[in-house]
Amino acid sequence: MVNWSGCLGRRSVRAYPSSCAELELIDSWELERERVGVLVGKAKLAAEEWVRCEGSALPGFQGAFLAGSVTTLPDEVPLPESSDVDISVVMEEPPPVKAGKFRFRGALLEVSYEARERLRTPETVLRDPHLAGGIRGMHIVADPLGRLASLQSEVARKYALRRWVRQRCRTATAAATGRLQHTDASAPLHERVTSWLFGTSLTALI
């Protein structure tokens, strides 16, 4: 959990450069930093700062957590260049469009929104192949209502139970076959390929 005091406010990551030479210097520095990669621990801190200073101000904010590979890597190793930090912001009513990917304090963040209803009970999460693994291993950043910690504890305790494993397999199988069966044969090739890729990728959840 992050310390919610001392927020740096809504300032830009850096001020606009005052000259072309300064701009070139900044661009060179940022390119080198992106090539080398930011340490996992610093990427987490950047994500926590964004939640503290930006995410928590969103209407209906009810908490936030990190998910994905960043929760399993040691803090002292560089984050792979192709990896971002996945931030899930729990909200009463999420906006229709997610924030997407952007750089903040040197880290590549990807912010998405989760409706509180999807996390209503442990059972709701346990049957969902998209949510269960992420909630089990999530790094809680903000939990003002105390719900995320108790949810994580219950999901982790029941995650490997045969009942829920089978339910997640059935859900993922139905989603994959449903998407593949409803591919529009008259659609352009690139759209059909994309649809096929999305459908087959769901088998990774089984």
Q: What is the residue-averaged pLDDT of the chain?
A: 84
Confidence band (pLDDT; 50, 70, 90) for 50?
very high
Q: Residue holding tokens 């310390």? A: 3
Task: Tell me what the mean pLDDT of segment 28-44 comes to.
Answer: 68
Q: 152-173 pLDDT, tens per residue? A: 999 999 999 999 999 999 999 9
**Region of poorest pLDDT, from 123-127, 141-145, 183-187:** 183-187
Task: Tell me what the mean pLDDT of segment 49-68 comes to.
Answer: 95
Angle made by CA atoms 3, 156, 134, in degrees to the nearest 5: 65
The confidence score (pLDDT) of residue 201 equals 86
The confidence score (pLDDT) of residue 28 equals 44
**Region of poorest pLDDT, from 139-148, 156-165, 190-199:** 190-199
Task: Tell me what the mean pLDDT of segment 192-197 comes to.
Answer: 87
The confidence score (pLDDT) of residue 26 equals 37
**CA 81 centroid distance within chain:** 16
The confidence score (pLDDT) of residue 3 equals 54
What CATH number does domain 20-159 carry, 3.40.50.720, 2.60.40.10, 3.30.460.10, 3.90.1720.10?
3.30.460.10
User: Would you list the DSSP string of the chain?
Assistant: ----SS--TT--SSPPPSSHHHHHHHHHHHHHHHHH--BHHHHHHHHHHHHHHTGGGSTTEEEEEEESGGGTS-TTSBPPTT--EEEEEEESS--SS--EEEEETTEEEEEEEEEGGGGSSHHHHHT-TTTHHHHHT-EEEE-TTSHHHHHHHHHHHHTT-HHHHHHHHHHHHHHHHHHHHT--TTS-HHHHHHHHHHHHHGGGG-
Return d(Cα 155, Cα 124) in angstroms, integer.
10
Please state, for a pLDDT cut of 70, what percent of the chain lies above it. Answer: 82
Q: Cα–Cα distances in Å, from 135 out to 16, 71, 80? A: 39, 11, 22
Q: 78-118 pLDDT, tens per residue? A: 998 778 999 999 999 998 887 889 999 989 999 999 999 99
pTM of this structure = 0.76
Q: 111-136 pLDDT, tens per residue? A: 999 999 999 999 999 999 999 999 99
The confidence score (pLDDT) of residue 136 equals 96
Q: Is the pLDDT of residue 22 over 60?
A: no
